[in-house]
Structure 1
Amino acid sequence: MGSHADFVIEAFTLLSIGILIIFLRTYARLRQVGIRNFEADDWLMLLVIVPYTIETALAYTVGAQFRGLTNSGMTDEERKTLSPDSDEYAWRVGGSKIQVAGWIMYASVLWLVKAALCAFYFRLTAGLAGYKTRIYIGFAFIAATYIAIICCILFSCQPFSHFWQIYPNPGNFCQPALSKIYIFVIVCLNITTDIYLLAIPIPMLWGARIPKVKKYGLLVLFSGAIFVMVAGLLRCFLILQNPDTGPEEGASWAVRESFVAVVTSNLPSTWGWMRQKLKPLFGSLLSSNNVSSKYKGAEPGSIMLGDGRGSGWRSRSGRADNGLGTVNSEHNVYIHGGGDASSDEIIPSLPEGIKKDVEFTVQESEPQR
């Protein structure tokens, strides 16, 4: 690992970028629906900023104030001879307390992101048969696993003061920087919840009747949890590999993993808006019309996902958006439009018959004189 100064620059740079991305997402949603029409995922993602900032500050404190020390990485002889009046003793006690708080903030960031994603999927699949139950189960799964993790962190070592006990050796479960119960419980629950969340949009996108290039792009866009899982496994490996540098190494990788989670979870809801803004620079590369003629026209299931344009359909809030649309049949709508309206509730239908009912509003405006 590099010097502490290098980590400080990295940590606060990642924090700044992460918060900027959340604000960018919020700005896009403000332009699309207005603050009165914000939904659960919008507020949850803003709430992520609080534990994310605290987590980064704690990771900084581990190295800056407590020299990366905790009550782990010591022999029994070192524990016995370390004076309670020494600076090192104070650093190890303080560093251990920071580690307990850091684990709680780390879990809070990841699980708030999961809850925001689940709420986003709820909005995304509104009206599609079979998805509502899956998402409710997802919310329950996220809540139950978060409670389990917090209980694991707080009650795995009793009495609680043993979390920062130096002598005698309190045992692995009372060494928060290297606690195997922390590491394995959080990693396992993190991976299982991410896999469940991936199972919501991926099958739907895989079966959608859209061009393969766009389909694969959307699959990658919605598969950001894979990168979070890899980062979590890497963090687990690095902590267990070296007990001496584990505390500071773990804090560093917690910040990196949280950053990856924030970025990848915000991409699906901001991509359509960003594509519209970047189109003047990249032209046809980002054009939604640059597809094979096989997919042009009012093809059933060819409704585009997250285009960021207005679509002439009425959202659940009852607000009508101006745009152009073509009704193909009684239930299928192929939509192209203009403006800044949100389109992230429009879902491509599966060829086997999953359909989304859309209330389509045609409005006529007075000609300008």
Structure 2
Amino acid sequence: MPQIEDRPSFIIESWTLYVFGTLILFSRFAVRFKTVGWRGLQGDDFFSVLVLIFYAVDAFTVHLIYYLGTNIEAGVAAKTHTLTKDEINEYETGSKLELAAWVVPDPGEKCSFKMQNFLVTTVLNVLTDALILGIPMPLLWKLQVPFRKSVSPPLPKSAL
């Protein structure tokens, strides 16, 4: 196999996350079908089907790239031993699959791993999570229920 890094736990983690994600989407579909039926489906329901399709393609592509490798590992492998025709073909296929996430031109490590990029991403993720959790707050304030019960519905969502 051409991959340089052999970490089977990565594939297990990838497919486990895929299973959880699809279970959540299928449970969403089941609830929607039960509540509104086929005729009551809206645009977000069809978008969820599209998400499911792209998620499956993504999981499958990650799996293939892990086992087939990419041209990044080919340089290291070429220095350690002569590549066979099969290995070259596998690297070629893996490199073509990698085009799904290609960045042109390559920004390089100096740009890719800047602390600013991580800080901006983190701040925006936390901010959007807080805003999403804040959406039901005006409704919860109007309810005549104890504070403990009004706060509990958003808590499971904050863990996601």
TM-score (norm 2): 0.62
CA gap 1:186/1:65 in 2 versus in 1, 3 angstroms: farther
2:137 to 187, 202, 205: 202
Say yes or no: does 1:32 pair with 2:31: no
- Letter paired with 2:7: H
Residue 15 of structure 1 contacts residue 52 of structure 1 at CA under 8 Å; is this kept in 2?
A: yes
CA gap 1:70/1:8 in 2 versus in 1, 3 angstroms: same
Say yes or no: does 1:172 pair with 2:109: yes
Unpaired segments of 5 or more residues in structure 1?
Answer: 103-152, 155-159, 164-169, 228-263, 265-369
- Partner of 1:63 in structure 2? 66
Unpaired segments of 5 or more residues in structure 2?
Answer: 1-5
CA gap 1:196/1:70 in 2 versus in 1, 3 angstroms: farther
- Letter paired with 1:26: F
Residue 172 of structure 1 contacts residue 179 of structure 1 at CA under 8 Å; is this kept in 2?
A: yes
Say yes or no: does 1:192 pair with 2:136: no
Structure 2 Cα separation of the partners of residues 184 and 96 of structure 1: 32
Residue 133 of structure 2 contacts residue 154 of structure 2 at CA under 8 Å; is this kept in 1?
A: no
- Letter paired with 1:192: L
- Partner of 2:3 in structure 1? none
CA gap 1:44/1:195 in 2 versus in 1, 3 angstroms: farther
Residue 4 of structure 1 contacts residue 63 of structure 1 at CA under 8 Å; is this kept in 2?
A: no
CA gap 1:70/1:27 in 2 versus in 1, 3 angstroms: same
Deviations along 1:10-50, whole A, 9 cap, x unmatched? 32233123212211211111111112112233233232212
Structure of higher CA gyration radius = 1
Structure 2 Cα separation of the partners of residues 82 and 192 of structure 1: 46
Residue 65 of structure 2 contacts residue 97 of structure 2 at CA under 8 Å; is this kept in 1?
A: no
Structure 2 Cα separation of the partners of residues 202 and 95 of structure 1: 48
Say yes or no: does 1:6 pair with 2:5: no
1:16 to 12, 16, 19: 19
Structure 2 Cα separation of the partners of residues 188 and 179 of structure 1: 16
CA drift of 1:92 comes to: 10
Structure 1 Cα separation of the partners of residues 58 and 131 of structure 2: 26
Identity %: 26
Residue 4 of structure 1 contacts residue 64 of structure 1 at CA under 8 Å; is this kept in 2?
A: no
Deviations along 1:227-277, whole A, 9 cap, x unmatched? 3xxxxxxxxxxxxxxxxxxxxxxxxxxxxxxxxxxxx5xxxxxxxxxxxxx
Q: Per the alignment, in what secondary structure is the counterpart of residue 48 of structure 1?
A: helix
TM-score (norm 1): 0.32
- Partner of 1:101 in structure 2? 100
RMSD: 4.1
